Amino acid sequence: PPGMELVFFLQRCVQLLLFPIHVLACLGLWDSFYKKVFPYIMAKVAPIYNRKVYRQKQELFSNLRKFTGPSGQLVLLEIGTGTGTNFQFYPPGCRLMCTDPNPNFRKFLLKSLSENRHLKLERLVVASGEELRQIADGSVDVVVCTLVLCSVTNTRKVLTEVLRVLRLGGAFYFLEHVAADHCSWTYFWQKVCDPVWKYFGDGCSLSRETQKELEKTNFSELNLRRMHVTPYWIPTSPHIIGYAVK
């Protein structure tokens, strides 16, 4: 693909097209508006995405029970739960805790719970992944995080919190879209769209190197593979999926 000069030029073109949104963002008006709208968008988009990755999610979460702790009940914390699209994959009887920084997701999450009667919500905390103070050290068997690390402000801080709340031998499950191969056209378009993508993805970054952050984190075991979600031409197509053990 062409060099950074063209990336920079096209970035500016896209920013110019979306200049009114950029102004609203600078005035602090876009964020508060979009936080109210975003859950409605996700309520429509998430089921479509879920159908595309249904088999992969089913496979990923199939061994959740093996991380059940000494209590005999699986204690599961989901970070950035959103509309609760992962609930259908969780085993019956697990002790479920959910966190999300956006309180506007609450009614969608409760609707999803009503459709997944095999689960009972124990706690719902309005908090970002970087600040999980309300969850005690080593109190969780499993932490789940899907399509969240792309939009957090500090990936390393989130992973540090994940390690803190997990008990020894507990696991962190993830499914995230990530940066494409740097020599690819996909990466070129990721870099072009990145500055404005955050406005529509609630802070989402297209070119985050999440795999490198996971490798740097002090997990005892990392099971990770790369995959692509259709259509392959969209900038969010490259994904990583797997789980890491503390």
Query: Residues 54-62: what's their mean pLDDT?
Result: 97
Torsion of CA 124, 128, 134, 140, to 10 degrees: 80
pLDDT of residue 15: 86
- Report which secondary-structure segment, H or E, holds 3: none
pLDDT of residue 52: 96
Give how far the C-alpha of residue 115 lies from the chain's centroid of Cα atoms, to the nearest Å: 22
Q: Nearest 5 degrees, angle CA 184-CA 186-CA 189?
A: 120
How far is it, in rounded angstroms, from Cα 136 to Cα 22? Answer: 39
Phi, psi of 128 (to 5 degrees): -85, 160
pLDDT of residue 22: 87
Q: Where are the domains of the chain?
A: 2-245
Q: Nearest 5 degrees, angle CA 216-CA 221-CA 225?
A: 80
How far is it, in rounded angstroms, from Cα 200 to Cα 18? Answer: 11
Query: Residues 80-101: what's their mean pLDDT?
Result: 96
Q: Is the peptide bond prior to 235 cis by the omega test (within 30 degrees of 0)?
A: no
200 band by pLDDT with thresholds 50, 70 and 90: confident
Residue 126 has pLDDT above 90, yes or no: yes
pLDDT of residue 159: 97
Query: Residues 206-232: what's their mean pLDDT?
Result: 96
pLDDT of residue 75: 97
Percent of the chain residues topping a pLDDT of 90 = 82
Residue 192 has pLDDT above 70, yes or no: yes
139-155: pLDDT as tens digits: 999 999 999 999 999 99
Query: Residues 104-117: what's their mean pLDDT?
Result: 95
How would you list the strands of the sheet with 221-228, edge to edge?
120-125, 95-99, 75-79, 140-146, 166-177, 238-245, 221-228
pLDDT of residue 7: 87
Output 30 or 57, whichever has higher pLDDT.
Answer: 57
Place of tokens 């085993």: 91
Q: Could you please report the per-residue DSSP string of 179-192?
A: ---TTSHHHHHHHH
Please state which CATH class domain 2-245 belongs to: alpha beta
1 band by pLDDT with thresholds 50, 70 and 90: low
Average pLDDT, the chain: 94
Percent of the chain residues topping a pLDDT of 70 = 99
**Helix-helix angle 19-26:30-52, to 10 degrees:** 120
Task: For residue 49, give Cα distances in angstroms to 85, 140, 211, 240.
Answer: 10, 27, 21, 15
For residue 18, count CB atoms less than 10 angstroms from its CB and return exposed for 0-12, middle for 13-18, buried for 19 or more: middle
pLDDT of residue 2: 67
168 band by pLDDT with thresholds 50, 70 and 90: very high
pLDDT of residue 207: 94
Query: Residues 23-35: what's their mean pLDDT?
Result: 89
How far is it, in rounded angstroms, from Cα 210 to Cα 47? Answer: 24
